[in-house]
A and B are shown apart, each in its own frame.
Chain A
Amino acid sequence: MIGFLYPEICNQQGDRGYKDWLEVHQIETCEVEDQIVDNLTGLVVGDVSEQGAILLESKLENHWLGKSIAQGLTVLAIGRAAQVLSRHLGIEPQMNSYKSQYVSTVFKGEELFGYVNGFHDLDQLITETQIGKGRLISCALLGPVAVVNPWVEEYCFGIKTSARNDLVDHYKKLLAD
């Protein structure tokens, strides 16, 4: 089961759409809010706006999420949500510059494509931090990053959906343009 944390707030770039993608591929999903969900294989935390970040921060106070990560949960956190979550987990998020454009980046030897918009560590657009038995994967590539890059969903959640080579090619072309 893949969870989506506070999908009403963490949906700045249409992040919630990935839930539909998983469901159409018969992968179980759920919305994760204040109530404990204990059968998660992974959690997506979509991007948030400046105001959304304030709301997310307040909702994370005394939240069970940190404990779940320490027990082995993998979290894919996108855009500004990754910065909020990093601070919540006591990791200092790296931000060195502002960028708004298509990018490619290499993570664990894989070339990944997407769009960045905001202040991020442009030398490391994706980072992974081990927290107890779990992982926080902070991703500056926005929106449907796991749809555009099939490798991401396999690496984060151990799942494979359908092939979409033309979508990857489209992003490569956008980057080249």
Chain B
Amino acid sequence: MRTLIALALGRASRKLIRTFRHGGGSAVPGTIASKIQPKLFEIAIKRFPQGLIIVSGSSGKSSTTKFLVQILQNQGLSVFTNPSTANIKQGLFSAVLQGSKWLSLPKADIAVIEMDEAYAAVIGAPLQPRLSIITNVMDEQLDRFMDSENVVSALHKLSLASKQVLANGNDPKLAKLKADNFHFFGLSTSLSQKEEAPRYAVSTASPIENLDFEIIGESPFKMRSKNFAYELPTKLQGLHMTINFGAAISAAELIVTNIDHNKLEETADTLQGVYGRDTREVIGGVESRILLVQNRESFRLNLLQAEAAEQLFMAIGTDVKDPSWLWGVNFHNLNSVDILSGHHAIPMKYRLQSCGVEVQLLQPNFEQALNEFIQMEPPTNGERVFMVTADTFRRMKRILELSS
């Protein structure tokens, strides 16, 4: 009965919020439902006959999840998943509400859930996932985790409760967790030494030398495992996305008994990324690129993608609690930022200046900043790029009514 009431009230509040607020309302219905039936998520997850896959780690969770969902769906499985970033308690409960029809819980063969690192230990581990995918450990959200070792500790709890673990073997902190239930994916030594390869948190440990799933080519994507040699066409931009795709294929190999390679090729060819993670969108009549930056390393990797920018909008929002880490990003390859905005525009201005980057206009009013940027003359021989953090990305979507 509690489950029915939670579904009814949660779904009603979701509908009400979405009526009045474009693109909003993912957390409140989940909070309401979790108060009424604290076991709603657990009850929903236990109904999937092929079990639960959790994707966790500092970054790459959303993309890996989305890639894996597409692969599994094309292999013929029905998949329950959560929207990207809805990866803490309220978001997980909201996903159940979103996936339910009337008063019946979501139906699918398998669940693939992106989960925040801390919640992966608290909510994910007790569910004893069939497979946990651990993407990496970065120095990020330090205001929340204090130290990346606390993230390792949370992910270790998840790994102990999981039947199988697929972890990034390039990341020394994850290599250190190695146990019998672990499989490791990652870039080959030569790829991992490239400038565009992700860098992980400082560690006294070493990466895994013999990877179970070794990515050896970026475009076309090439990976070898004990059973297969993959060569797939992709339009992925950046090695960090290649790793996420590699993690998803490795997971599929562990889950699907007889993988259909023709269908896998189809998926690779038509692969959809997560909205905002290097998304091309026509904004104000101009094809623009949206790059979401979430931490020091994602800023670095996205800056490598933004080298073709002729016009650059940058906005650092309230999701950045302590702007100190911005000083760890190297902006020396940027020429200028056309418009700088967001809650931390002022510290960002000083960081950019210290790298010799000119800020054409600092506009504290975010909506005005967006409008002024969109009204600029279209670029002539380069790209128009929006580089935003989670908070300013959400506000941008709402103001411009972008549909993800």
| Contact surface of A with B, Cβ cutoff 8 Å | 8-9, 11-18, 20-21, 23-24, 48-52, 54-55, 98, 100, 102, 115, 117-118, 142-144, 147, 164, 166-167, 170
Total contacting residues, chain B, CB less than 8 A: 32
Residue pair A117, B327 in contact (C-beta under 8 Å):
no
Q: Which residue of chain B has the shortest Cβ distance to A115 in the bound complex?
A: B322
Contacts of A18 in B (CB 8 A): 327
Residue pair B202, A17 in contact (C-beta under 8 Å):
no
Q: Which residue of chain B has the shortest Cβ distance to A144 in the bound complex?
A: B327
B284-319, CB < 8 A from A = 296
- Smallest beta-carbon distance A122→chain B, Å: 15
Cβ-defined partner of B142 (8 Å) among A11, A20, A54, A117: A117
- If A24-B354, A117-B142, A167-B347 touch, whether A14 touches B202 (CB-CB below 8 Å) is no
Cα–Cα distance between A176 and B339 once the two chains are bound (Å): 27
Using an 8 Å CB-CB cutoff, how does the interface string of B215-231 with A read, 1 for contact, 0 for none?
A: 00000000000000000
Residue pair A117, B328 in contact (C-beta under 8 Å):
no
Contacts of B139 in A (CB 8 A): 12, 49
Among listed B31-39, B90-98, B128-136, B145-153, interface-contacting one:
B145-153
From DSSP, what is the main secondary structure of chain B's interface residues? helix
Q: Report if B350 contacts A (CB, 8 A).
A: yes
Cβ-defined partner of B147 (8 Å) among A21, A50, A167: A50
Residue pair A54, B204 in contact (C-beta under 8 Å):
yes
Q: Which residue of chain B has the shortest Cβ distance to A145 in the bound complex?
A: B324
**Count the A-B residue pairs with Cβ separation under 8 angstroms: how many?**
98
Residue pair A49, B147 in contact (C-beta under 8 Å):
yes
Contacts of A55 in B (CB 8 A): 202, 204
Cβ-defined partner of A49 (8 Å) among B148, B324, B327, B356: B148
Q: Which residue of chain A has the shortest Cβ distance to B323 in the bound complex?
A: A143
Cβ-defined partner of B204 (8 Å) among A51, A115, A147: A51
Residue pair A117, B146 in contact (C-beta under 8 Å):
yes
- Smallest beta-carbon distance B168→chain A, Å: 17
Using an 8 Å CB-CB cutoff, how does the interface string of B176-216 with A read, 1 for contact, 0 for none?
A: 00000000000000000000000001111000000000000
Cβ-defined partner of A167 (8 Å) among B144, B149, B173, B346: B346
Using an 8 Å CB-CB cutoff, how does the interface string of B362-388 with A read, 1 for contact, 0 for none?
A: 000000000000000000000000000
Contacts of A49 in B (CB 8 A): 139, 147-149, 201-202
